Amino acid sequence: MEKYIENTDLINAYLNNTLSKNEKLIFEKRLEIDSEFKQLYNEQLAILEGINRVGLKAEINAAKQSYVRGKWMKYIGISVGVVLVSVVIFSLVFKTEITKNTEKINNQIEAITDVETVEKSLKKLIEDPKELKEVIEIDDEIATSRKATRNDVSIEEVVNKEAVSKEKSLVKIDEVSQKTKPEPMATELKAFFKLNKKQPQIIEVNTEKEFTVTCKEGTILTIPAKSFVDAKTAKLVTGIISLEVTEYYKLSDMLIGNLTTKADDKQLETGGMLYLDANKKGKKLKLKKGRRIQMTFNSKGKKGMQLFSGEENNEGVNWKLQTEKKESIEEDVEVAFSTIEIVPTYPGCENLSNNDKRKCMNDAINKIVSRKFDMEIAENLGLKGKQKIVIDFRIDKKGNVGEVNARASRKEVADEAVRVIEFLPQFIPGKQRGKPVRTRYSLVFNIQLEGENTESNSVVFVKSDKKFIEIFEKRLDSIESSNGILGTISNDHIARYAFATTKLGWINCDRFVNSKKQKVKFKLKIKDPNGTNVKMVFKSMSSILPSKKFADEFDFGLLPIDEEVIVIAIKKTKDKLYLAKKEMQTKRNPDLKLDFKEVTIQELKMELENLNSSF
Amino acid sequence: MSDQKILELFKNGKRSKAFKELYKLYPRIEKLILSKGGTKADANDVFQEALIILNRNLEKSDFTLTSSFYTYLYSVSRFVWKDMQNKFSKQELLKLSTDEVSIFHNVLEEQKYQFAEKAFRELGERCQQLLQRFYLKKMSFKDIAKVMQFKSEKIAKNQKYKCLQKAKDIYRTTLKTVQS
């Protein structure tokens, strides 16, 4: 113990640097030769450092607390400042002479809003100014019409619920007694539809330029330059490619293409269907991520049209509208800060007119930047005179600031600018037609340093906030994997339906049928039903419904009552083709006899074309 | 505040103030750790560790800060976090630059002290207080005896050795279990 205490004290003395030079040398020598002593020393050092850590941690924590407190105090200070500024501006507004004096609150940094943005990209899309206007209008309408559709649907649901619940018990009993799944379509029939479906129109497209084409039946497609990638390798495809377009406006085309207008269990009314495909020398292509084909359908007059995309299944094509996904696309609608209806609100700038809000926000950002921007960074770099920093950032639908970009003469300065902007609190997002939208905001800061700026204006570009970009890319991915729906319109003044798709394949311009009529179950029995497909065409609207086949029964599910419809049955056996059609009104499980007559393919097509006028 | 000024704070013994300044860098470090899958609590621990390492280095006479505080703390934090995750591959270690190697050594060295700290925290309350008073507050045994109501200076002194010995024992056993 004696020796141990002696050694401990010695080590302490060494660590505390209280030994004489000579003693120190002896000590160090001993460390080299005496391994036991060395271990003792190491242990003691470790323990002392461990104890030190305890003290340090306490100190660091205290520092952190005071930093956090300071930060809050600053925020409080800033918001008080902002309130003061807005009060000053507000009162000045009424004296008409406003601005320029208050703008120079800070003599070091001044901000100017840069008010030119997004519209360029829209212009690129469509050059014809008339159509441009239409497209913008559509964008604007998206929000309202979606709301409207939702309301309608919910009303319909309420109305239907009763009917449905009454029917449900019946359905259950029926299902139990039948215990069968619908039969898949007979192979002969499938082959028949495949063989006779409409042939696509093949359009050569030069991918180097934006391309607009009016197809045979009047669909207008606008394809941006460099929009196609190889479906397998995802590599950009250049040069001439073939775009295959099949337009379905006519009832006969839809019927012979085995197309119906149903989204899962909901009835749709169509404003035209399209099948788009693209290839280059037989290699399948797909749309590049984020690219959209603008399309204008050649039909008009119905409100609340939406874009659906189709998935082929056993029975034909099922249409899907995915609301959540659509929202994410809508989020992609970016509105220019200069034109947005309600500008994003900086916390503290509420209850002002748009222009005052802009002003208030400018001032607030100005103030934050002038407070937070570490001038010494610029000074330490030896920069002199006036330094320009251009910053832009997005304010997303939720009011978050992200995707900050900065341009300055030095990377460090741009970095600092990005850091400062990331300090900005959450905004109240800007709104367009009552819906929060994303905006891009850009500003120019000038820092005034001593001396004169003699450097040539080199510019370094800093892009920041990786995370935000990742989120953004993920969103793009999810858009691509979605079924490519892109917007809704409801505007009597827009004669035709215009949309943009991010995906090739089946595309349908539809709306949900919101009938408030009572619904009834509708089933048909047909003798010798093999190879038969039965569809129902609604005279009052452009809607075709499929039926599910259960042995000799064809089930249409629930239909609105008292609708003028045409039941169309096509039957294909090995070598013969039959057609039956019957005009009638929908009622509960009608007693219906279909008279099949043998037809040739030409006759069938003719018969179907005769129905086109009633569609 | 510029790095130069913060350095001066350290030199003039105004460590708390310096730490407070350096905490301004914390949000960016937190971002780093969050982006690597850590939680906010992790980020807090990592940054604290980075500050301790920085402080230790600044106390060394042969250490000069070659980059900005931010860059330094950023890379230290990166290493600390990676080390916490045990994510170093041999190849990675071979590719390190000299600066990074010294940071890596710092992180490893600090680990020993972390064990020592743990050992210390396992001591009884009274032992902890005694050792802290002696080593951190640099109180004399006379004062310690008075404050902690030891009967004599000598008993306080003896007690301190015992506590230290105990801490060493715990430390040694934890090291052994870690190494095995």
Residue A539 covered by a domain: yes
- In chain A, residues with a C-beta closer than 8 Å to the C-beta of B55 are 56
Predicted pLDDT of residue B60? 80
Q: A113 vs chain B: nearest CA distance in angstroms?
A: 27
Q: Which of A47, A68, A374 sits opposite B120 (nearest CB)?
A: A47
pLDDT at A164 over 80: no
Which range (A9-18, A323-332, B100-109) has the least confidence?
A: A323-332
Higher pLDDT, A513 or A602: A602
Q: Which residues contact B147 (CB under 8 A, 6 or more apart)?
A: B133, B139
- Spacing of C-alpha A264 from chain mean position: 23
B154 interface with A at CB cutoff 8 Å: no
| pLDDT at residue number A180 | 59
Domain residues for the domain of A16 are 2-79
Domain that holds residue B166: 122-180
Q: Is the domain of A451 the same as that of A504?
A: no
pLDDT at A540 over 70: yes
B164 vs A1, A8, A53: nearest CB = A8
Give yes or no for residue A159 having a pLDDT over 50.
no
Asked if residue A523 has pLDDT above 90, the reply is no
Residue B46, pLDDT score: 93
Q: Is residue A101 part of a domain?
A: no
Residue ending a domain, among B113, B132, B166, is B113
Output the pLDDT for position A171: 44
The nearest alpha carbon in chain B to A418 belongs to: B28
Average pLDDT over residues A40-51: 89
Instruction: Say if A485 falls within a structural domain.
Output: no
Same domain, A291 and A350: no
A66 and A150 part of one domain: no
Q: Where among B82, B113, B144 does a domain terminate?
A: B113
Count of the separate structural domains present in chain B: 2
User: Residues A209, A328: one domain?
Assistant: yes
- From chain A, the residues in CB contact with B17 under 8 A are 63
CA closest to A466 among chain B residues = B35
Residue A467 contacts B, CB cutoff 8 Å: yes
Q: Which one of A57, A59, A380 has the shortest CB-CB distance to B16?
A: A59
Q: Answer yes or no: do B12 and B92 share one domain.
A: yes
Q: B51 to chain A: which residues are within 8 Å by CB? A: 56, 60
Tell whether the model's pLDDT for residue A96 goes beyond 70. Answer: no
Give the pLDDT score at A307: 73
Which of A22-31, A539-548, B17-26, B131-140 has the least mean pLDDT? A539-548
Among A52, A411, A471, the strongest candidate for a mutation testing the B interface, having the largest count of B CBs within 10 A, is A52
Question: For chain A, first and last CA: distance in Å?
Answer: 107
Q: Would you state the pLDDT for residue A492?
A: 27
Q: What average pLDDT does range A174-182 have in this prediction?
A: 52
Element (H, E) at A401: strand A401-408
Give A47's contacts in chain B (Cβ within 8 Å). Answer: 116, 119-120, 164, 167-168, 171
The predicted structure's pLDDT at residue A94: 60
In a domain, A243, yes or no: yes
Residue A340 located in a structural domain:
no
- Answer whether A53 sits within 8 Å of B136, measured CB to CB: no
Question: What pLDDT band is residue A500 in, cutting at 50, 70 and 90?
Answer: low
Whether residues B171 and A70 touch (CB distance < 8 A) is answered with no
Check residue A534 and report its DSSP letter. Answer: E
**Which residues from B are below 8 Å from A50, CB to CB?**
113-120, 167, 171
DSSP type of residue A157: H
User: The domain spanning residue A375 has which CATH number?
Assistant: 3.30.1150
pLDDT at residue A34 above 80? Answer: yes
Q: Which residue has the higher pLDDT, A501 or A217?
A: A217
Same-domain check for residues B128 and B109:
no
C-alpha distances in Å from residue A6, one per residue of A1, A37, A295: 8, 12, 91
Q: Is the pLDDT of residue A101 over 50?
A: no
Say which of B16, B35, B117 has its CB closest to residue A54: B117
The CATH number that applies at residue A573 is 2.60.40
Question: pLDDT tens-digit profile of A209-262?
Answer: 888 888 888 888 888 888 888 888 888 888 888 888 998 888 888 888 888 888
Region A9-14 average pLDDT: 85
| Pairwise CA distance, residues A175 & A194, whole Å | 32
At residue A1, the pLDDT reads 63
**B57 and B20: one domain?**
yes
Contact between A43 and B16 using a beta-carbon 8 Å cutoff = no
Tell me the pTM: 0.38
Complex prediction ipTM: 0.87
Pairing outcome for strands A438-448 and A334-336: parallel
Residue A614 pLDDT: 66
Beta-carbon count within 10 A of A272 CB:
24
In a domain, A382, yes or no: yes
pLDDT at A129: 44
Q: Which of A48, A59, A419 sits opposite B135 (nearest CB)?
A: A48
Taking CA atoms, B100 is separated from A227, B30, B76, B94, in Å, by 45, 20, 9, 11
Is B171 close to A47, i.e. CB distance below 8 A? yes
pLDDT tens for A416-459 read 888 888 778 788 888 877 777 888 888 887 777 777 766 655 56
For the CA atoms of A582, A587, A588, A591, the dihedral, rounded to the nearest 10 degrees, stands at -30
Q: Does one domain contain both A61 and A188?
A: no
| Helix or strand holding residue A463 (H, E) | strand A460-463
Among A384-393, A503-512, B103-112, name the one with the lowest average pLDDT.
A503-512
CATH number at residue B39: 1.10.1740
Question: For chain B, which residues score pLDDT lower than 50?
Answer: none
Question: Which run of H or of E encompasses A357?
Answer: helix A354-372
Give the pLDDT score at A182: 74
Within this chain, do residues A131 and A261 fall inside the same structural domain, yes or no? yes
Beta-carbon separation of A50 and B117 below 8 A:
yes
**Whether residue A328 is found in the same domain as residue A373:** no
Model confidence at A516, pLDDT cuts 50, 70, 90, reads low
Closest-CA distance, A375 to chain B, in angstroms, reads 9
Residue of A587 and B172 predicted with greater confidence? B172
